Structure 1
Amino acid sequence: MHKKIVRSFLITFLITFLLGFGLLYVSLYKASISQDRQYLMNTVKLVKNLEIDDLNTTRLGDTFKSEDIRITIIKRNGKVLYDNYKDKIREKHLQREEVKQALEEGTGTCIRHSNTMQRSYLYVADYEDDNQTIVRLAMPFDGLSQSISILLAPFIFSICVSFMVVFILSKKMADEIVEPFQDITNTINSTNISEDVLTFNTYNYPELYKITNALTNMSKENKKYLERLEKEKKVRQEFFSNASHELKTPLTSIRGYTELIRSHTIQDSNQIDTCLDCVLKESDHMTQLINDILTISKLETEEMQVTYSHIHAKKLLDSVVETLRPQIKKMDLKVYVNATEFTVFASMDHIKGIFYNLISNAIKYNKVNGRIDIVLKKNQKNMYFSVEDTGIGIPNKDQDRIFQRFYRVDKQRSKTIPGTGLGLSIVKHVVYYYKGDIHLTSKEDIGTKITVELPIIVKEAPES
């Protein structure tokens, strides 16, 4: 990069210098022609006042000849009357460009190669109408070679000096430009991106500030991403640990009861039926646990095949409450349902799961003779559903983790309360699946309230 910057500066300088020299040459070339032409025109006026004999007797023609100025006097018919270089010129001069121009306009000028003198000349001609003669003066004009011979030495000197100055300045400027990039590279190489955030020095270039700012932001995002991966890794480890523990518990019970029956230790048929009932109960618990794990996994990866339908929300809620009626009676709870009729468009299993899990938890973690308030209504485009209980409540330190898989607040009491520890996690994933909101408020020994809002309301339900 450093060499490329220096090379670019030098190439730019050479192109600019050559263009400038070209413009200078054109300007000097034109100025030289104009000056010589004006000199010849002034000399023509002097010669016009003299006779041919005067040019000979005064030897003025020889004087001009010594100054490389050729004087030619031509008649109107093209015949050459006098030439201070040639004694006799027989060819006519009417076809000469400067002569034709003088006859038409009074004066004429041109630059051309002279066949007589075998070199290029600058010609100036003036037509005298009184005596029908044309006075023509010419002087050698070498054009480019003449100008270059004057400019060559200073041109070579100036380009050498300028080239050295530009080379030194471009090298210094390249160092200033490249140095921040080297500093940025060193900072990146010396920083442990997985642990630290990239921090750069302040540079005087706005463009570099944008680059370093973007790198810093990218580093922050990368660190957040790595932290999230580490956190998810711990969650997965905890999940598999909890899942294996939850699966191991019913399997241990099933194995124990099975071994009792297989060893014929128990002979009483009633006791055998009790053992088999426990095996079935633990099997159902394990099946439910596996189904809940699969449900969460599919919701997280959005691989679940969801069948949407129009659902009468109040009718579904009433059926869920009726299903849980035995548990409600067992806890001697008072349940108050405030529900309005409306239709939603969603998965029946999803909405039923939300109703069942929230009400089931309100029953499990309530107090005997407690109360449950259930509200179901529509709020513009949202279905509003809330369950509030008068149970044991959730400590503040546990409220952030209550929706995690297998997380249960009271470990000792949880052993006596049936459940997989996945209910609230399923509710959270279903709510996020529909891009809804879920809120929890709870106080220890006072109760818990969970509110769900889902944008699934339809204006009119179809007849079929």
Structure 2
Amino acid sequence: MKWNSIVFKLGATIFIILISVLLPLIYTIDRLFYKSYLSEAHYQINQLAAQYSNSLSSREDLDSLQAVANLTKTEICIIDREGKILFTSNDEAFHQDTQIERELVEEAYSKKDTQIEYHNTTNNLNYFVSGKPLYLSNQEDVGLLVFSNAKHIKKSVHDIELLLWVTMIGALCMALGFTYIASKKLASPLLQMEKVTRDVAKGKFYKKVTISSNDEVGSLATAINDLGQELERYRNRQTEFFANISHDLRTPISYIKGYIQVLQDELYKDEKEKDLYLSIILDEANQLNVLITDLFELSKIESGQLDLQLNWINVHELIESCLIKVALKAKEKEILLQKELDTNIPFIFSDGARLEQILMNLLENAIRYNKLNGHIKVKGVVEKKKVHLLIEDTGVGIPEEDLPYIFERFYKVDKSRSNRIGSTGLGLSIVKHLVLLLEGEIKVKSTLHKGTTFYIALPFNIREGIKDKVL
């Protein structure tokens, strides 16, 4: 496993969090238990001392203390005010008639429950001590001391502490295994995404990430799959773009080259045929010029190098001007041009030349793909602080499956027809880019063999929007 891998980092993070929680928790439990156990031990010794002091009433009762001491595993001493040991249950640990420390004397005559630990130098053992004054019938002023070996109590505490720490180590081992499994499971989708994205970068767009959850990781996997599809589509469009542009450039050049060769070799019958060839050369040159112009225009738009000239525009006059310009072409196909504009359409702040380019492109398409004796209607209304323009025709229409792609570069619904009538396949792509650049929207509806309608919505004033876009 690599130290800088996501599995290691994720696992280490989870493990450190677990340790950060478990260690303070175990330590706190250990300290609480230790204090509680010692407090309980002192309490029991104090209780024993209290019971002994209450049950002894004469020196004759002292003989029973030896049996009680053996039964309770404690050591019992009776002392006087000077600290002299008058009675002991264990003469090896506490010698009778010897003096005991002043601290223990005070403990014996104290009426409070205290917690004292005492180290006996005779046998080198530690004891928990509790003392109580005794009131014998002969009114002797004596005190009772009860000693409990701390070794047994601390051994019990140590055993429980050991159990706690062993439990913690076991829990950490289990946590380590859980962490490894969890980190592998959590990191597995990310590692798969890395592999798939590298494959996609190499052009293997068919590679997909398995979506195993509906959370953020699943959403990321979906996004990567969508990205792969978009990249594949972009590559296909790019390939088709170069194929189309090479074809559209090669075709007119081939015509021009061929007919120039014919004219150069004087392979024509008469002047009429010569003029025909010259006319073909001119048409192909014009077609080539349109293609190059459209490519240059589209390149400037997509690279953000297109400068906009913003002015207040009279929409009525602009539409009227466009209809006049296409009137001759419409007349050739006996197409009726109509307009239906609301009188309340205001001046709009936009780029008049680009808006005219949009309308001219749509009107020329409407004429190009219309039927004989058809009609074209331009409508204009105001809704929600926007000017809505509709260009509808009675042309051949667009198949429903082609509608999502008509704004793509070089997309042609009927390639043979488009080539025959001189379409480059770039016009609608330019139209959409220009509409978006003018902060507008464009939509299309079409019914095959019945006609097509383009919807354009433009804001009244795009000064701020255009300013942000240009900057």
Q: TM-score, normalization: structure 2? A: 0.68
Q: Deviations over 1:232-280 (max 9, x none)?
A: 22222222222222222333344356556767889x9999998777656
1:61-460 paired onto structure 2 within 5 Å: 68-74=75-81, 83-84=86-87, 87=97, 97-98=106-107, 102=110, 111=116, 113=118, 122-126=129-133, 134-143=141-150, 145-149=151-155, 166=170, 170=174, 174=178, 177=181, 181=185, 194-195=205-206, 197=208, 210=213, 217-256=219-258, 258-259=260-261, 282-339=284-341, 340=343, 341-394=345-398, 399=403, 401-409=405-413, 413-414=417-418, 417-433=421-437, 434-444=439-449, 446=450, 448-458=451-461
The answer to whether the 8 Å contact 1:9/1:170 transfers is no
Gaps of 5+ in 2: 1-6, 88-94, 464-471
Q: Deviations over 1:279-318 (max 9, x none)?
A: 5654443222112123233434544333333221111112
Q: Deviations over 1:65-91 (max 9, x none)?
A: 9974332233xxxx67884456586x9
- Structure 1 distance, partners of 2:147, 2:376, is 120
The answer to whether the 8 Å contact 1:257/1:279 transfers is yes
Residue 39 of structure 1 is aligned with which of 48, 53, 56? 48
The answer to whether the 8 Å contact 1:73/1:134 transfers is yes
The answer to whether the 8 Å contact 2:374/2:395 transfers is yes
Q: Deviations over 1:301-347 (max 9, x none)?
A: 54433333322111111222222233233334332222344222322
* AA at the equivalent of 1:195: Y
- Paired residue secondary structure (2:307): coil
Cα RMSD between the aligned structures? Answer: 5.5
Q: Deviations over 1:401-428 (max 9, x none)?
A: 5444344455555455344332223223
The answer to whether the 8 Å contact 1:382/1:453 transfers is no
The answer to whether the 8 Å contact 1:72/1:135 transfers is yes
How many aligned positions are there? 431
- Structure 2 distance, partners of 1:367, 1:157, is 96
- Paired residue secondary structure (1:405): coil
The answer to whether the 8 Å contact 1:308/1:345 transfers is yes
Deviates more, 1:339-348 or 1:118-127: 118-127
- Paired residue secondary structure (1:324): helix
Offset at residue 168 of structure 1 (A): 12
* AA at the equivalent of 1:249: T
Q: TM-score, normalization: structure 1? A: 0.69
Distance change >3 Å, CA 86–CA 454, structure 1 → 2: same
The answer to whether the 8 Å contact 2:378/2:389 transfers is yes
- Structure 2 distance, partners of 1:39, 1:436, is 95
The answer to whether the 8 Å contact 1:25/1:147 transfers is no
Deviates more, 1:38-47 or 1:62-71: 62-71
Greater C-alpha radius of gyration: 1
Identity %: 23
Distance change >3 Å, CA 217–CA 276, structure 1 → 2: same
The answer to whether the 8 Å contact 2:394/2:452 transfers is no
- Structure 1 distance, partners of 2:26, 2:102, is 44
- Structure 2 distance, partners of 1:184, 1:351, is 52
- Paired residue secondary structure (2:459): coil
